[in-house]
Structure 1
């Protein structure tokens, strides 16, 4: 096994390997969940693999989802049984084998508004949902659904208005820290020998006649442009698929359409409930999802054709979600209750419907040119299937025998030994002078890899103190993010390695400088660089807040783009 640490030194090794001129079997473009899954799938088949991402790991769609691993209950109404069955099978795998430290069951309450027929109709759907989850070779991994009276529903969720329901159904799906799962996929791929490189943008493709033979890559951290040669290139860039295809000089056979979804984050005490909620809206469904000491409320589903890197939530989006959730709450939520807002883009296959809510979540894999494979569409839950299918297509162009995919049997880093470590949590707490709940928090974020985090505490016990401005996180988590998880900038830590940017009313402004100071010795920052990282983060927060006050997408996008992407030190020096 190679090192699974995404340290600054490991980045240098990946940069040297990719720029060496040696031909890879597979180069994957895109560091979201599908691209990371492709890298892991290919490298565990014995192939030499490179993985490049233009920004941070999971910085696009894969860190801005509803953070659910689910079959998609609403797809049963669309009669998309194959997609639901496939997603439920993947849910079971993630819960029980691949990532039990990152994926866990979560209950949802579905309020019934009509007597008789609605309980029969909805109950039949949830029963089918539970039954389909048993179609694999393992148990469903979550409890079975149950029927509740109005009194039982109000006992589970006292914040519901009694007149808003006549009864309820409760069923289970699963929850994930989406950005962390991607980081663990990348680290697991690296452990098996892949060469991952973030902040490395593909600026062109290499050609030998009609055949794609690699890519030109611009490393944004060093301002170096180099060529990566590969027998097969996989384009897994999600909503950027069409832009990446344009670099080949040919229009893609499949177009990807972006749909914007936003989520609100509110404190847990604003809604008294032991369960999440799922509510039907006029166009889709609305989730209220437990998230630590918070609730996530989402999502919207609107067409988006503006800047893909920084989709912006508008005042209208926020009001829409508040209005819909307040329709069932006894004590309505107000704007002042909103701690955080985030917006993401779903990559939907275009051409099937004018309404984004009806576009397919199925994925497609094609080879638009010899040596190039494109994977598009799909949903977060089925990333592993998408990756397998994409690598299968790439393998056909390699010209030699390659083993079949084995990622259904490859646990992610931190999964092996997680249960034993969880059982030892009280002893670990005593050993390191932490409260048991702190150790549980670390175990849910790192699994068995918690030993690496605790080793940093052994070297410097002060890292066991809460981070100033974000007491839910320890100082050691910031240091570990920079030293082992590939965080290169302050925003990487505050928005993806942690979720401080959406879990505090000040959006992480108080924590920004203390976090940057902890990252500085790991990444070799001087005081000027610390100031610049903090200033960039402050500008980003101010731009996002200003965007949230705008009435429409165009105005919000213009305001959000007022805060540019983070500028590496080399660009400033130049």
Structure 2
């Protein structure tokens, strides 16, 4: 039995959220940390709610490098415990939690010196493999392999001859980040959580003793004010942490800086290679990551001081990534080769008072009590979202209650993974009536896992949904419809940016597909012609503004250009 996130489930959730009986836990923030926290709380048997002021995964969690990794570079800082924790989480995602979304990904680490670099790199990668085997009690991805220059160039012919003397092959994993978040939210709902996107917290409700007992909020879709009672509120808002913290009217405990990272997308045929590349730069690392139809190259790491809703790449950002990629690749990539871009903001944690007894600080994330009844979590990375969620729920519950209701998310598969092996084996038979190729079958299994059966049920109701989109043949009509019937999409931008992700897979950011996609979802969302026109106009304006911003040279100008396209559903002004 599937769990649907749609208009009706949202309405029902809002009714329950405002009920007199307080929630055990209310989570603010619908990125990977908030979604993971809602799932952790719900699977402990706690009455749980989660709200997000935009669409699910609308911020950092849909704009990552799309990697699940242990952090190989941290080993050179001797952060063994941090790497071991991340490698354990990688193993859980690969084998138990989300094997349909998380896939083992081979990488080459090109070497430029024959002895010294190979020696210390081999030790580092060997330790990486050893920590993975120990923490997962077995092999979850293949161990390192050494390549001569000739063998490495067979694997990745586009590496420049003078940039390699050999290579080390190792494995991490890649993930569809936005789909991971959406599946987390849906799985939390499957376990009883009340989930509502486009709901913005505007203030904290306190009792006479100053304890937080809920939040004031507004349903941005209707403009209706809400009061949501809760025994515990967990703030998981990433780069918005300080804003959420300010609503509690207490001295600042956490400071979170925004750092921008951008990625460029290229057609898969443009680079001749069969694995990913791990490249060290003067500032950090650069990943060149293969997907079914394209390559993702990134990232940057620069301070962002502009508005946080719509970070965008600048011309300078694009030049930086092209320069570093072309320093190693023979492909001679140009701006004309770029089919898409995206930018995200990484929350960099700066604890203000981490000596307080009400604060728990780790190398990567911090959990803090901002006020009685209000806990925040900040920092961390996508790979360790589950451990972060476990930590913050443990902290919110207190030691005794957490021991009585321990986390079970390390053995809880997400929707799509529950019956994955059986459905994968049956897929050739299931797809035979539709003539889907092996590539199409792989595409659907990697996105929906065992819920491809639900997709087929939609097609049985409307056989036309089995056809590829005319404007974007990589996707079926059923995938667009599934986005609104099961995955909580409320607007065209939700579909194109977080589900059928044409915003970075096509040079026009999906504008050409808008009429066809709107035609599929309008009847199911109850839109009339005026609403369709407004949705298309809004997305078109935002896409054009993003493309124009990429021609500017600095963040301030880029942000001004992007802001010329107003949001269809603007945020409320907090109290």
Tell me the TM-score normalised to structure 1 length. Answer: 0.96
Inter-partner Cα distance in structure 2 for 1:442 and 1:374: 36
Aligned CA distance change for structure 1 residues 134 and 112 (closer, same or farther; 3 Å)? same
The offset of 1:423, in angstroms, is 1.5
Aligned CA distance change for structure 1 residues 398 and 372 (closer, same or farther; 3 Å)? farther
Tell me which moved more, 395-404 or 24-33: 395-404
Aligned CA distance change for structure 1 residues 329 and 230 (closer, same or farther; 3 Å)? same
SS in 1 for 2:21: coil
Q: Deviations over 1:265-319 (max 9, x none)?
A: 0101110000010111001000000122100000000111211111111000000
Tell me which moved more, 175-184 or 392-401: 392-401
Q: Deviations over 1:1-47 (max 9, x none)?
A: 9x621021111110110122221100000000000111000011111
Per the alignment, residue 70 of structure 1 pairs with: 69
Per the alignment, residue 526 of structure 2 pairs with: 524
Q: Deviations over 1:118-146 (max 9, x none)?
A: 00011111111111101224434211110
SS in 2 for 1:218: strand
Inter-partner Cα distance in structure 1 for 2:156 and 2:500: 28
Per the alignment, residue 271 of structure 2 pairs with: 271
Tell me which moved more, 399-408 or 225-234: 399-408
For structure 1, the residue ranges without an aligned partner over 5 or more in a row are 353-358
For structure 2, the residue ranges without an aligned partner over 5 or more in a row are 353-360
- Are residue 409 (structure 1) and residue 401 (structure 2) matched? no
- Are residue 250 (structure 1) and residue 258 (structure 2) matched? no
Per the alignment, residue 314 of structure 1 pairs with: 314
Task: Say which of 371, 382, 385 aligns to 2:384.
Answer: 382
Per the alignment, residue 187 of structure 2 pairs with: 188
Per the alignment, residue 327 of structure 1 pairs with: 327
Per the alignment, residue 82 of structure 2 pairs with: 83
Aligned CA distance change for structure 1 residues 138 and 526 (closer, same or farther; 3 Å)? farther
Inter-partner Cα distance in structure 1 for 2:516 and 2:363: 41
Q: Deviations over 1:357-387 (max 9, x none)?
A: xx99610111121000110100100000000
8 Å Cα contact 1:92-1:138 kept in structure 2? no
SS in 2 for 1:442: helix
Per the alignment, residue 56 of structure 1 pairs with: 55
8 Å Cα contact 1:32-1:58 kept in structure 2? yes
8 Å Cα contact 1:278-1:287 kept in structure 2? yes
Inter-partner Cα distance in structure 1 for 2:489 and 2:471: 19
8 Å Cα contact 2:179-2:499 kept in structure 1? yes
The offset of 1:251, in angstroms, is 3.3
Inter-partner Cα distance in structure 1 for 2:537 and 2:138: 49
Task: Say which of 460, 464, 473 aligns to 2:462.
Answer: 460
Tell me which moved more, 50-59 or 556-565: 556-565
Task: Say which of 541, 544, 549 aligns to 1:542.
Answer: 544
The offset of 1:416, in angstroms, is 1.4
Inter-partner Cα distance in structure 2 for 1:396 and 1:43: 16
Aligned-residue Cα RMSD (Å) equals: 1.8
SS in 2 for 1:272: coil
Task: Say which of 493, 499, 502 aligns to 2:504.
Answer: 502
Inter-partner Cα distance in structure 2 for 1:225 and 1:34: 26
8 Å Cα contact 1:32-1:61 kept in structure 2? yes
Inter-partner Cα distance in structure 1 for 2:483 and 2:435: 22
8 Å Cα contact 2:63-2:342 kept in structure 1? yes
Per the alignment, residue 349 of structure 2 pairs with: 349
Aligned CA distance change for structure 1 residues 294 and 429 (closer, same or farther; 3 Å)? same
Tell me which moved more, 343-352 or 59-68: 343-352
Tell me the TM-score normalised to structure 2 length. Answer: 0.95
The offset of 1:173, in angstroms, is 0.4
1:334-373 superposed matches below 5 A: 334-350=334-350, 362-373=364-375
